[in-house]
Structure 1
């Protein structure tokens, strides 16, 4: 049986019953239910932040979001067309100073300020500005952020335009005991995930990537993601839906990895039979 990811080592817990949470902004979640923390001790120093275009659960331990959730529709993305991007990066004033990331933490860190809920999903100026809060950021490898990850974000938007409506939950994963901090304060994730539920197809799945240079990614089921990340992004889904990985669209990275020739093999996800083996390797 797969172990819970080594966020357990970070937060010092053992697996427990799933933690159900109330929410002040149900409009962002499938069936109005926010992502559920599989272990209650993940909830230490967490705060729900409701925004116009997304919601997030912020951790005062990692000084990042544990998840950011969006309800994307074709109509919402039509509203986004023509909206000029304004990079209004800012510390979130709703958070205590000792729990939040500051702009100074990222200066000369070598990492991008990587969006969890992307600014390209936001339908208006207020939503876009809120997406530039550092509470919605993680320290992200710049090559990953600007190429593969941007390709994944674009693939999800294309899927939304095609099928009309999707729910998205995005977040970081922290694996291992020797985690890096930037500014001596903000934890650097080792992996990132983006979970999707397609309302038209009634199917779900997730992209899983390493926070590093390159274009390799995995497509996994929600059940497998839950075991690895310690978070259930869609608590209301039947177990049968969670156990079957949706055939998510292939992202098209916007650039090449470190100037090296990008191969077709590097763009392809692991096949279903290799998923559990991959997840096991994450734990060692």
Structure 2
């Protein structure tokens, strides 16, 4: 009995967890009408993460375990003024599904046993992967500025929610979209659903461990009332400081081309494409 209790305390008690088989069953509320993007965006080894922090689901991420970057993060736009966090976290359940459901800092995860370090590195990006980058930095898909309070903002500082992003883009036109354009576009919206993603590229950082995306994209579906919705989207090459404004339909067409699919749907059909 004592051994069993010790094992539970080390591995974390089993539960429905963050790494899930279905977004619809566990955290559908981050998607408009509860419908995630179509399967055409899925990588060969996907992980669906209902990002869990301080006893709450905070947002949803489709993670590419081979490229060690998120395909997209989906969340509800709800900006607040809490202080920007600084502690980066990892996803224990990508290492082993029996581990705890909450994200935690890399140091805390490895504190009790350094033997988990190799398994952690094999399962996801780690802090070392983002050190000594040239012309790139850690680019959030779900930005902390779009979240309401201290804990919600902290949850976006997961290494499963970032990609190597062009440093000028991240601090330039992309940041302007996140901070200014989103605030303007969401005026009059009762609720805004966002999906932000990255298209894998042909280059890698950290000795080939982490993919550098070729494109970054963002789309939003705004609910004005039960009968009125509107949408917008952007895309940017990840090697220059330029953001292109698109309709939702135009972005979906571009993604279908990038992923060699007949079609890609980012939101339920009720969200307007024009």
Structure 1 length-normalised TM: 0.68
Residue 43 of structure 1 and its aligned partner are, at CA, apart by 5.0
In 2 relative to 1, CA 162–101 (structure 1 residues): closer, same or farther, beyond 3 Å?
same
| Greater relative CO (CA pairs within 8 A, separation 6+) | 1
Partner SS state of residue 143, structure 1: helix
Matching residue of 2:238: 211
In 2 relative to 1, CA 229–168 (structure 1 residues): closer, same or farther, beyond 3 Å?
farther
Residue 62 of structure 1 and its aligned partner are, at CA, apart by 1.4
Partner SS state of residue 204, structure 1: strand
Q: How does 1:113-128 map to 2 (within 5 A)?
A: 113-128=138-153
Residue 93 of structure 1 and its aligned partner are, at CA, apart by 2.5
Matching residue of 2:124: 100
Unmatched tracts of structure 2, length 5 or more: 1-21, 96-119
In 2 relative to 1, CA 183–130 (structure 1 residues): closer, same or farther, beyond 3 Å?
farther
Equivalents in 1 of 2:66, 2:177: separation in Å? Answer: 27
2:196 to 170, 173, 176: 170
Equivalents in 2 of 1:221, 1:116: separation in Å? Answer: 17
Cα deviation 1:102-154 (Å, max 9, x = unaligned): 00001002221100000001112221111000100000011000111111112
Cα deviation 1:32-73 (Å, max 9, x = unaligned): 112222266x2524232334332111110111111100122x
Residue 229 of structure 1 and its aligned partner are, at CA, apart by 4.9
Matching residue of 2:166: 141
Residue 194 of structure 1 and its aligned partner are, at CA, apart by 0.1
- Given that 1:194 and 1:206 are in contact with CA atoms closer than 8 Å, whether structure 2 keeps it comes out as yes
Matching residue of 2:86: 87
Does residue 65 (structure 1) correspond to residue 70 (structure 2)? The answer is yes
Partner SS state of residue 36, structure 2: coil
Q: RMSD of the TM alignment (CA)?
A: 2.3
Structure 1 range deviating more: 219-228 or 161-170: 219-228
Equivalents in 1 of 2:153, 2:176: separation in Å? Answer: 19
Matching residue of 2:215: 191
Equivalents in 1 of 2:254, 2:231: separation in Å? Answer: 11
Matching residue of 1:44: 45
In 2 relative to 1, CA 219–126 (structure 1 residues): closer, same or farther, beyond 3 Å?
same
In 2 relative to 1, CA 206–136 (structure 1 residues): closer, same or farther, beyond 3 Å?
same
Count of aligned pairs between the two proteins:
213
Equivalents in 1 of 2:233, 2:63: separation in Å? Answer: 21
